[in-house]
Amino acid sequence: MTLGLIILILIAGGVLAWALGRVNEVLARAVSLLAIFVDLILTISLLAGGEFRISGGGAFVDQLKMPWIPQLGISLHFGADGLSLLLLLLTMLLGIVSVLVSWREITERVGFFHFNLLLVLAGIAGVFTALDLFLFYFFWELMLIPMYFLIAVWGHEKRVYASIKFFIFTQAGGLLMLLSILGLFYLHGQDTGVYTFDYFSLVGTRMPYAVSFWLMLGFLAGFLVKVPAVPVHSWLPDAHTEAPTAGSVVLAGLLLKTGAYGLIRFVVPFFPDASAAFAPVGMALGVAGIIYGAVLAFGQTDMKRLIANSSISHMGFVILGIYAWNTLALQGAVIQMLCHGISTGMLFVIAGALQDRLHTREMARMGGLWDAAPALSGVALFFAMASLGLPGLGNFVAEFLVLMGTFRSDMVYSVLASTGFVLSTIYSLSFVSRVFHGRRPEGLALADLSPREGAVSLVMIALILWIGLYPQPILRVSGAALKEIELGAAGRQMAETAVPLLPEASNGAR
C-alpha cells in the first residue's frame, strides 16, 4: 500500500503546486519539497523494514495488487525489492535536490514547473515499482511528457530542438517496446490460455528462440535508447545542454537509470537464452560507450555537454556489468547507477550555478574561479574526482566491481573498459583546470555557494563518501534481488554462461 501512496503523493503534490503557483510561488515550491520529503521518509521506512534475502519471490516488499482492466488481464500491481527501493531512494533524494536548485532559477510558471517535475518523478517511481507490464509501459510513457515540457518551456536557447529530439528518440524506442510487450502477452495467452500482463506470470513464457530474440530486441530498443547506448545516444547531449538545471539532474540521475533497470528487471528474466546469445554484443556496446563517451567529453568546450557526454561513458560501465552477468559485475552496475546519479547530478548543479552567475557555459570564457569562489570550486573538484573514480569514493567501488566481474567473464572487454579510468581522469582534470584554475578573465566576478547550495552539496558529499568507504549495506540490500534474477528459473541460462560466483560475494550479498 505504501508504494501506491508514494506515487499518489507525488501526483497530488504536483497538482496542488500547480494550483498554488497561481497564488503564491513560494507555497508551490514548499508543497513540492514537502511531498518529495514525505515520500523519502516512506521509502526509508520500507528499506528499514524489509528483509532482503533470497526467498523465491519473497524479496519483494509491500506488494499492492488490485484489478484495473481485468478483461485484458491488466492490474494495478506494484512491488519493490532491494533494487527498486534503492532506485526509489535515489529518486526522492534527487527530487529534493531538483526543487532546491530551482528555487531561484525558475521564475516563470513556477506552479506548472513543479507540476511537471513531480509528475516525471511519479512516472519514474512507477517504472521502478510496476509489476504489470501494461502499468509499466503507462509509467514509462508518463515520464516522457513532463520531461518534454521541462526542456521545451524552461530550457535554454535551442530548447525546442532538444525537446523534440528527445521526444522522437524515446517515443520510437518505447513504441517498439510496446510491440514486444503485446507479443509476449499474446504468446503467454496462446501457451497457457491465460492472457495477462503480470510480471510473475510472464516470466518463463515458452516461445521459439527466434521469436524470443526478436521480442528481446523490441525491449532493447526502448531501454538502450534511455541508457543511452552508442549509437542511439545523440539525443542526450542536446537534452542535457538545453534543459534547466533540475531537468539535467533528473535526466542524468534518474531517467538514464530506468533504461538500465529495464535491462536487469525485464530483458534477461524474460529472454534468458536470447540474452545469453546477445551478451557479447551487449558487452561490446558497453565498452564502446565507455571509450567513445570519454573521447567526446574531452573534446567539448561547453561545460554541460562535457558532463553529458561523460554520462554516456559512465553508463557504459552499467551496460558492461549487466551483460557480464555475475554477482560482482551486477552489484557494481547497481552501485554505479546510484553513484553516477549523485555525482553527475551534482556536476550539473555546479554547471547550472556557474551558468546562472556567469551567463555562459563556455569554459573558454572562464578560468581562475578558485580564488573568487573557493567553496563552489572545492565542491566541483570533489565531484569531478568522484566522477573519475578516485579510490575512497563510491564511483571507484562501482567501476572496480564491474571490471572485476567482467574480467571473470571476458578478460579482453575488462582490459578495454579499464581505459575508461584513464580517459575519465583526463577530461575531469581538464574541466577543473579550465574552469577553476589559470588566469581569470578581466572583470569576471563570482558569488560563492549559498547556504542552500552548500547544504545540498554536503549531503551528497557524505553519501558518496559513505558508499565509497562502506558499500556493504547497498550490497546487502541489492543482493537478494540480483540473486533472484540471476539464479531464478528465467535467469538460469545467463547464470550458467557466466563464471561461478565467488563465495565471498555470494555471502556478502546475503
Point out the least confidently predicted range of 46-50, 181-185, 269-273, 370-374: 46-50
Longest dimension (CA), the chain: 75
Domain ranges (residues) in the chain? 271-498
Lookup: cell for 132? 504489470
pLDDT band at 494 (very low <50, low <70, confident <90, very high): very low
- Give the Cα separation of 444 and 268 in Å (integer): 53
- Give the Cα separation of 53 and 60 in Å (integer): 10
pLDDT of res. 48: 83
> Of all residues in the chain, what percent are helix, strand and coil, respectively (each to 5)?
75, 5, 20
- The residues that bridge with 67 in the sheet, in sequence order, are 75
pLDDT of res. 499: 37
pLDDT average, residue stretch 21-46: 94
- Give the Cα separation of 41 and 63 in Å (integer): 18
pLDDT above 50 (res 492): no
Helix (H, G, I), strand (E, B) or coil at 81: coil
| CA neighbor of 264 nearest in space, from 225, 221, 318 | 318
Number of residues in the chain: 510
Q: How many CA atoms lie within 13 A of 255 on its CB side?
A: 31
* 66 phi, psi to nearest 5 deg: -150, 150
pLDDT above 70 (res 65): yes
Lookup: cell for 365? 570564457
The DSSP secondary-structure symbol of 67 reads: E
Instruction: Find cell 579499464 and name the residue.
Output: 418
My answer on whether omega of the bond before 231 falls inside 30° of 0, hence cis, is yes
Average pLDDT of every residue of the chain: 89
359: left (phi over 0), alpha (psi -120 to 50) or beta: left
| CA neighbor of 260 nearest in space, from 215, 211, 308, 314 | 314
First to last CA, the chain: 26
- Give the Cα separation of 425 and 384 in Å (integer): 9
Using a pLDDT cut of 90, give the percent of the chain over it.
74
Q: Where are the alpha helices (DSSP H) in 22-132?
A: 25-49, 82-101, 110-129
pLDDT above 60 (res 508): no
Helix (H, G, I), strand (E, B) or coil at 181: helix
The enclosing H or E element of 69 equals strand 61-69
Q: Where are the alpha helices (DSSP H) in 388-471?
A: 394-409, 411-436, 451-469
The enclosing H or E element of 65 equals strand 61-69
pLDDT of res. 486: 67
Tell me the one-letter amino acid at 252. Answer: A
pLDDT above 80 (res 444): no
How distant, in Å, are the alpha carbons of 103, 180, 249, 387 from that of 134? 36, 11, 27, 36
Q: What Rg do the C-alpha atoms of the chain give, in angstroms?
A: 22
Instruction: Find cell 514537502 and name the residue.
Output: 34
How distant, in Å, are the alpha carbons of 59, 211, 352, 374, 436 from that of 371? 51, 62, 19, 6, 8
- Give the Cα separation of 188 and 183 in Å (integer): 9
Confidence (pTM): 0.91
pLDDT above 80 (res 58): no
The DSSP secondary-structure symbol of 130 reads: B
Tell me the one-letter amino acid at 58. Answer: G
Find out whether 378 and 372 touch, Cβ atoms under 8 Å: no
Lookup: cell for 170? 524515446
Tell me the one-letter amino acid at 222. Answer: G
- Give the Cα separation of 506 and 501 in Å (integer): 7
Per-residue pLDDT tens for 159-169? 999 999 999 99
Instruction: Find cell 552539496 and name the residue.
Output: 457
pLDDT of res. 237: 92
Per-residue pLDDT tens for 173-205? 999 999 999 999 999 999 888 999 999 889 888
Find out whether 487 and 308 touch, Cβ atoms under 8 Å: no
Per-residue pLDDT tens for 358-406? 888 999 889 889 988 999 999 999 999 999 999 999 999 999 999 999 9
